[in-house]
Structure 1
Amino acid sequence: MTNNDVLKKLRVALKLRDDDIVKILALVDFRISKSELGAFFRREDHPKYMECGDQILRNFLNGLVIHLRGPMPKKGDKPKPQSQNKPQKKSNN
């Protein structure tokens, strides 16, 4: 499976548009145009097809983590405490 296949499958599975992928890559300071991105999704026999390199896929995956989880907290920041209130089970008496 090529990097292009991985990128295509993630795009479909996460229902991402080209704009979304450009924004995700921008989260890790990686700039790419929509036309460059479109070349990765073309068929291999298309004249404007371009192979997705490891660097682009790596940056996309790192940006996807930030997109889905949020930015990593800085070392000096304390994590937010989790809610101590657990939902009580209702009894059927």
Structure 2
Amino acid sequence: MTNNDIFKKLRVALMLRDDQIVEILELVDFRISKSELGAFFRDSKHPNYLECGDQVLRNFLNGLVIHLRGTKENPKNPKDVLTKHKAEIPAKKTTVSNEPKAAKTTFKKKANFKKAAPKTPVVEKVKFNNGKNKKS
């Protein structure tokens, strides 16, 4: 498992956006742009794929500890931080209503056009003998 895989899995598990990851890395004085960060999450076959180094992952993990737990002077509860992230994610709109759904629009069939004349074969049928004389 590569550093890129670990980084991707942490991002998904903690529901982090790119701008949040940039902020987490700034907690440990490590500056990186969103485009550089996006290169880590690309497919390995993509031309703009970038290998995530040990230093980037190490700084992200150290920053993540500070982000979730806080510092000694200003401790945080990690569950509160994670619920805050969850609340920031826009919820999918699922509306349940008792109203009947609108009827689907029906389309008329297209007018039947005359069928085209049968195509003439480009190559004539050829009988292959392969040099064998068969007697029946």
TM-score, normalised by the number of residues in structure 2 = 0.53
Partner of 2:11: 11
1:51 paired residue number: 51
Aligned counterpart, 1:2: 2
Of all paired residues, the percent bearing the same amino acid is 79
Structure 1 unmatched runs, 5+: 74-93
Between the aligned partners of 1:2 and 1:22, the Cα distance in structure 2 is: 20
- 1:71 shift after superposition: 1.6
> Aligned residue for 2:32?
32
In 2, the alpha carbon distance for the partners of 1:48 and 1:2 equals 17
Q: Residue in 2 aligned with 1:62?
A: 62
Deviation at 1:54, TM superposition (A): 0.1
Kindly state the Cα deviation for residue 72 of structure 1 after the two structures are TM-superposed: 3.4
Provide structure 2 residue ranges, at least 5 long, that are not aligned to the other structure: 74-136
Q: Is the Cα–Cα contact under 8 Å of residues 25 and 59 in structure 1 kept in the other structure?
A: yes
Q: TM-score, normalised by structure 1?
A: 0.77
Matched, 1:23 2:20: no
- 1:41 corresponds in structure 2 to 41
Structure of higher CA gyration radius: 2
**Cα deviation per residue 1:50-90 (whole Å; 9 max; x = unaligned)?**
000000000000000000000234xxxxxxxxxxxxxxxxx
Contact 1:66–1:72 under 8 Å retained in 2: no
Q: Structure 1 residue runs of 4+, over 3 Å off?
A: none
CA distance in 2, matches of 1:54, 1:72: 26
Query: Alpha carbon RMSD of aligned pairs, Å?
Result: 0.6
More helix by share: 1
